[in-house]
Structure 1
Amino acid sequence: MPDPNQPPVPRPDAAVPPVVPSHGRAVGMPVPRRGPAAERPRRHPLDGPQHLPLRPLWLCRACGLTWPCAEARLLLRVEYDNRRLDLAVYLSGLYYEATHDLFRLDPEGGPTPRELFQRFVAWGPYRRPALALPPACTGRCRTA
């Protein structure tokens, strides 16, 4: 029976530890990932075209969908992470410019202002109503 105070003797068939070269990474071992931030959306993608609008059509340069596409929305949210009011002002300005551009391209069959509002502004930061609406009048209401 082996002595519990002695270190275990390696078996001859045990895996040999990898050789560590001078640059610090073990040979034959997988390269570690860059961490959780590697998957986070970046302001400037490393490869391929950026998700920016192709004006005056307002289509995404990267994926061809109507801009802002889902990726562009994610990138804008990350870029304006702690400045929600700035994002709301920026999106409102884009809404105005897109309304102008798209109306000039097709005054008859272009998107409606409501559709453009949904596309550019409604997905942005949470908005509260400026004033609480009065309760609905049911039955006898007095008017002054």
Structure 2
Amino acid sequence: MGERSSQLPSEGAGHKISGKIYTPIDYKGTVKVNGEVKDVSRRVYQRNDIDLVYFDETTGLTNLERMQAGKPPIGADRNPVELHHILQKEVGPMAELRETTHQEYYSQLHGLVKSGASFRNNPLLNKQYNNFRYNYWKWRASLITGGN
């Protein structure tokens, strides 16, 4: 396994592909919700600046190991990376955001849906998303490791 680092890249630093912070990728998959198979395929804008060898002292896992366990990696803000529903719909396009960015721009990022109308208020859609999120991080890790 690679070196473990508890240092995080500074804001704007990290591994960038072609100078871009995000790479769009199409996720194809299904989840089971109450015995019914649901298609959760969507476009996800993945961050290119995640430090895969960052060591999370709380869990004892590197970011890559966190993803392999279905957990989000830790971002440069020292918080778990969050998946943001761009159109505020489940299923819909998503972006990996730092928690601090998600909180700082909360009203701008969540202005498409009236208060109380979130899909999270629907128990089936909320479960569908939680199942997707777990599978997504595992899948994201498999892209990095080549399925190992």
Q: Normalising by structure 2, what TM-score?
A: 0.24
Q: Quick check: which one's strand share is greater? A: 2
Larger radius of gyration: 1
The higher-RCO structure (CA 8 Å, 6+ apart) is 2
Q: Normalising by structure 1, what TM-score?
A: 0.24
